[in-house]
């Protein structure tokens, strides 16, 4: 069995200089396609579930599905992660359902809309790390609010996302504050704000440094070379997927996502977890639309979902290859959560805040 904590996986990624895509799932088809891609690429993987996914699929269904994926693909280190937890209860119930990692997103208040104060964020994140680490589970925190530097707005997705106009101070994580935040919360991974947002409509043109602030990633990595960074909103929204979706009757206005080469640049500067949901949705939806328009008599859901799974598998395998995750699964021997808990207790997993990169 190969359930792995986020911390162990990202430590390996840092040691061997690769990034790990974190793909969102809501259903069996997504889970199977992602794991098949991981197997083909010999890649470890993070599968994450949002609060929306948990209520859509039901916690029991979702956790049994994760178990099934783990059993079916024993050779693939699989980290199961709560995406954008909004409270202690969300994070702890994810742990109850077998997740090996949780995100406590204290950048927003519990309503997942109101930007939170720094003190609120530190306090709630620290409470979650204390509890999660006691049972060996990893924690991702977030400092800075996700949203567009072009529009000053967050992208609300399924009820999650900042409302109202945001200042550049809120939209860009401050490197010095990041050091203090990691020290105070002991998070295993830090999600940062640098101009990405959730969903398909991230940028109105191919992004440059004014709207996609990769220099912020570099500045944070320079101060925290031993801390794993997380990029949210990292779908690339490929032009060819937009074209396929629109060719099949979809109506997606032209848009730009985060170019893969910018993510690869991030991986060179400490980004270890790369969150991707929109691209997966788009790849599947384009195929579902294609079948619906080319075979109007079709009514077997499998005839829609099989090609959709094929498209998702191709996309995920490509990301594993682009992020350097491919070929990394075989050497990883998952450490149990019980052993991780002992390591946290001993202090050996405390964040290393020294300026130099660990040997
Ligand atoms: O957090 C953003 C992900 O794309 C999840 O979206 O809340 O619609 O499942 P969702
Ligand atoms: P995208 O919408 O860019 O895929 O981002 C997903 C994400 O960040 C999930 O937390
Ligand atoms: Zn996110």
* Separation in Å, CA 140 to CA 246, 334, 340, 347: 36, 19, 16, 18
- Percent of the chain predicted with pLDDT > 90: 92
For residue 198, how far is its CA from the centre of ligand 3 (angstroms)?
6
Position 278 pLDDT exceeds 70: yes
User: Torsion over CA of 138, 142, 148 and 149, rounded to 10 degrees?
Assistant: -130
For residue 145 the two structure tokens come to 């609010």
Inter-residue contact 233 to 107 (CB < 8 Å): no
Which atom belonging to ligand 2 lies closest to the Cα atom of 84? 10
Residue with tokens 């900042």: 162
Q: State pLDDT tens for residues 180-203.
A: 999 999 999 999 999 999 999 999
DSSP for residue 105 = -
Which atom belonging to ligand 1 lies closest to the Cα atom of 157? 8
* Separation in Å, CA 88 to CA 106, 121, 130: 10, 12, 11
- 3-state secondary structure at position 81: strand
pLDDT average, residue stretch 281-298: 98
pTM metric for this prediction:
0.97
Residues 6+ apart with CB under 8 A from 117: none
Q: State pLDDT tens for residues 141-188.
A: 999 999 999 988 887 665 678 888 888 999 999 999 999 999 999 999
pLDDT at 158: 59
For residue 203, how far is its CA from the centre of ligand 2 (angstroms)?
14
- CB count, 10 Å around CB of 167? 10
Give the residue numbers marked as catalytic: 83
Q: State pLDDT tens for residues 74-99.
A: 999 999 999 999 999 999 999 999 99
- 3-state secondary structure at position 352: coil
* Separation in Å, CA 225 to CA 143, 160, 280, 352: 17, 30, 30, 9
Residues 6+ apart with CB under 8 A from 67: 98
pLDDT average, residue stretch 230-242: 98
Residue of the nearest CA to atom 5 in ligand 2? 233
Q: State pLDDT tens for residues 36-86.
A: 999 999 999 999 999 999 999 999 999 999 999 999 999 999 999 999 999
Structure confidence at residue 359 as a pLDDT band (50, 70, 90): low
Pairing of strands 228-231, 45-49: unpaired
């Amino acid at each position: 069995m190969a359930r792995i904590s986020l911390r162990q996986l990202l430590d390996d990624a840092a040691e061997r200089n690769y990034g790990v895509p974190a793909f969102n799932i809501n259903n069996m088809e997504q889970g199977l396609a992602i794991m098949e891609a991981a197997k083909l690429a010999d890649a470890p993987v993070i599968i994450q579930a949002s609060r929306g996914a948990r209520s859509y699929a039901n916690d029991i269904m979702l956790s049994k599905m994760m178990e099934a994926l783990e059993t079916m693909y024993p050779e693939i280190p699989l980290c199961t992660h709560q995406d954008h937890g909004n409270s202690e209860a969300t994070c702890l119930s994810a742990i109850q359902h077998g997740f090996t990692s949780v995100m406590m997103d204290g950048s927003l208040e519990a309503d997942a809309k109101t930007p939170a104060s720094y003190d609120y964020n530190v306090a709630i994140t620290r409470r979650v790390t204390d509890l999660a680490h006691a049972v060996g589970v990893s924690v991702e925190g977030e400092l800075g609010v996700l949203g567009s530097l072009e529009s000053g707005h967050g992208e609300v997705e399924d009820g999650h996302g900042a409302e109202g106009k945001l200042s550049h101070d809120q939209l860009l994580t401050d490197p010095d504050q990041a050091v203090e935040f990691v020290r105070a919360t002991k998070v295993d991974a830090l999600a940062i704000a640098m101009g990405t947002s959730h969903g398909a409509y991230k940028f109105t043109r191919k992004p440059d440094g004014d709207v996609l602030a990769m220099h912020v990633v570099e500045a944070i990595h320079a101060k925290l070379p031993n801390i794993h960074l997380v990029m949210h909103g990292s779908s690339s929204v490929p032009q060819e997927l937009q074209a396929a979706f629109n060719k099949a009757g979809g109506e997606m206005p032209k848009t730009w996502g985060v170019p893969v080469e910018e993510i690869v640049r991030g991986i060179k500067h400490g980004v270890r977890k790369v969150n991707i949901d929109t691209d997966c949705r788009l790849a599947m939806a384009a195929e579902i639309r294609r079948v619906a328009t080319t075979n109007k008599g079709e009514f077997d859901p499998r005839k829609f979902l099989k090609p959709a799974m094929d498209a998702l598998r191709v996309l995920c395998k490509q990301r594993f290859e682009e992020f350097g995750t491919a070929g990394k699964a075989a050497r990883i021997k998952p450490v149990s959560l019980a052993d991780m808990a002992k390591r946290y207790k001993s202090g050996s997993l405390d964040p290393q805040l020294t300026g130099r990169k660990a040997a």
